Structure 1
Amino acid sequence: MTNNALKTGGMREWLLADTPESSFQAWAGRAYLGLGAFMKNRLAVLGLLIIVALIVIAVFAPVIAPYDPVETRIGNRLAPLSSTHYLGTDEMGRDIFSRIVWGSRLTLYVIGLVAIIAAPVGLLVGTVAGYFGGIVDMVLMRITDIILAFPKLILALAFVSALGPGIENAIIAIAITSWPPYARISRAETLTIRHSDFIKAVRLQGAGGLRIITGHIMPLCLSSLIVRVTLDMAGIILTSAGLGFLGLGAQPPCPEWGAMTAGGRAYIIDYWWLITMPGTAIFIVSLAFNLLGDGLREVLDPRGGN
């Protein structure tokens, strides 16, 4: 930002300048407009606040949780909601509030690793298929179609059954079933821009396919990919909880929300809080990611929001 811009108009005018003096100024202007549009969506802001709260809770879980999440206290089993146990205790006498707080770490661990694994794989497959076309496109997209033909939870169950129960194997299984939609989106974006004038100009300068894909096409696909990943977080959470509910995800006594609901199903009539509290946590976090994803879609992908 130049001193002249500061003197004549201030920060806002500099951000909204019709003729940016640098690429950073242009990027800052777009970010400012996008932030303004996002802040107008109150539901999206609410979703963001819930997710930020989830991250804070996960980071400070040892401070927030009043009890050890895995320590059993048989003499205090199935205690109702009280000032001592805010959300009651489970069939082993463990504090449900503490287990939900510590379970937030597992939730973020799962969705973070799945996003880190699945999104780059889908982006690479989609951009390569869209750019090269022909036999490469046909082979990669048929593999994508085969995976998409199966319901995500059923396919994840098959992979976990083959790999064995456990949180790491559950993450691998969910990631394997999550990348095809990202590949489809990336391929569609690539098909619309691969014959653009700036791509032809880069190719005439001697750039190879790998450089064009990684340096020019992938960055243009990121906005749509971010929106889709955010919207898919709810599905990832539900799939992880489903695997935990069936005993194929995190293993006892790990405080995983899906496993907690499975443990409380035998007591649902008389001790409703055992299944209601972790189920509510799953619902709130899933809803938050959906609200955030809708808000990001309006800002980053206006075509998808109309």
Structure 2
Amino acid sequence: MASTRDWLLADSPTTRLQAFAGRFYRLTLGLLSNPLTVVGLIIITVLIVTALAADWIAPYSAIRQDLSNRLMAPGWDHLMGTDALGRDIFSRVVYGSQITLTIVGLVAVIAAPLGLVIGAVSGYFGGWVDRVLMGITDIFLSMPKLILALAFVAALGPGINNAIIAIAVTTWPAYARIARAETLTFRNSEFISAVQLQGASPLRIIVMHILPLCTSSMIIRVTLDMAGIILTAAGLGFLGLGAQPPLPEWGAMIATGRDFILNQWWVATMPGLAIVVVSLGFCFLGDGLRDVLDPKQGEKH
């Protein structure tokens, strides 16, 4: 926290840039010193590259059917086999990475800033503002995420856009709680008091000073939550409430392959492995970020 505060209070843009560069360099060295974190970085990098270059990586169309080649076992022509409609599973997994990355990215962009702002406002003002905002937060936290997401999707209707909204709505409360706890630790600190004496408005204090100080904890939590977001999205897809056919969403692919799990195991196993590997990648990366950005918290685990 001290390094972040020093960066905020730096006298000039050049000093701030130097402080940021030094911190980024230390963060990179810390991440690369952990083997599991390196594995996580590799997995996430492969996911991003696969999603961006899906048109060049996938050998077949993700939606084109070929009934003459249905339920073929993995081989040279079809690395992961084919499904009940003759579609190449490897190509569908590759294109499915785009959907997974889109869901993860949009949920993080929507839920994290929303929770961050609500938690910071609640912690800074306290009183009735804190009671109202945290009361709403506790209502969301009292219900299981998947059940709540199912309720929202059932109300909004099936589809990938509604699934993203539903997952984001169920994810932000945890971020609000973290931001509130962080805000309470330095709300009455000397540097905040100094900014207040200079006549800064509450809006400026929250945006320019409190929110940046909560960023490290938020990055850690968001990265660790990515695995849960992927599993929730896959669960919605498995139940037919996420991405709709013929989109190659991994959860929906597992649902279509469950009827062949005993004889044609690859139809459901391959997208399932993709979910497991990507989830582990985010978990490894999140653990590494926690150890580097918050060493004391990392020691507790």
Larger radius of gyration: 1
Question: In the alignment, what sits opposite 2:262?
Answer: 269
Is 1:65 paired with 2:58? yes
Counterpart of 1:225 in structure 2: which amino acid? M
Question: In the alignment, what sits opposite 2:41?
Answer: 48
1:18-29 alignment to 2 at 5 Å?
22-29=15-22
Question: How big is the shift at 1:269?
Answer: 0.4
The partner residue of 2:215 within 218, 222, 225 is 222
Is 1:178 paired with 2:137? no
Counterpart of 2:27 in structure 1: which amino acid? G
The CA distance in 1 between the partners of 2:232 and 2:137, in whole Å, is 19
Question: In the alignment, what sits opposite 2:11?
Answer: none
Q: Which runs of 5+ in 2 are unaligned?
A: 1-13
Question: In the alignment, what sits opposite 1:132?
Answer: 125
The CA distance in 2 between the partners of 1:303 and 1:190, in whole Å, is 18
Question: In the alignment, what sits opposite 2:28?
Answer: 35
Larger mean Cα displacement after TM superposition, 143-152 or 23-32:
23-32
**TM-score, scaled to structure 2:** 0.94
Secondary structure at the counterpart of residue 92 of structure 1: coil
Q: Which runs of 5+ in 1 are unaligned?
A: 1-20
Deviations 1:68-115 (A, max 9, x none): 100011111000011000000000000000000000000000000000
The CA distance in 2 between the partners of 1:37 and 1:103, in whole Å, is 32
- Figure out how many residues of one structure are paired with residues of the other and give that number: 286
Question: How big is the shift at 1:33?
Answer: 2.0
The partner residue of 1:301 within 290, 294, 298 is 294
The CA distance in 2 between the partners of 1:226 and 1:271, in whole Å, is 40
1:1-306 alignment to 2 at 5 Å?
22-306=15-299
Question: How big is the shift at 1:34?
Answer: 2.1
The CA distance in 1 between the partners of 2:188 and 2:272, in whole Å, is 48
The CA distance in 2 between the partners of 1:25 and 1:180, in whole Å, is 35
Counterpart of 1:136 in structure 2: which amino acid? V
Secondary structure at the counterpart of residue 178 of structure 2: helix
**TM-score, scaled to structure 1:** 0.92
The CA distance in 2 between the partners of 1:276 and 1:245, in whole Å, is 13
Counterpart of 1:213 in structure 2: which amino acid? I
Question: In the alignment, what sits opposite 1:14?
Answer: none
Deviations 1:158-216 (A, max 9, x none): 00000000000000000000000100000000000110101000000100100000000
Question: How big is the shift at 1:218?
Answer: 0.2
The CA distance in 1 between the partners of 2:103 and 2:23, in whole Å, is 32
The CA distance in 2 between the partners of 1:117 and 1:83, in whole Å, is 41
The CA distance in 2 between the partners of 1:177 and 1:108, in whole Å, is 18
Counterpart of 2:147 in structure 1: which amino acid? I
Question: How big is the shift at 1:29?
Answer: 2.3
The CA distance in 1 between the partners of 2:131 and 2:251, in whole Å, is 38
The CA distance in 1 between the partners of 2:263 and 2:19, in whole Å, is 60
The CA distance in 1 between the partners of 2:27 and 2:99, in whole Å, is 31
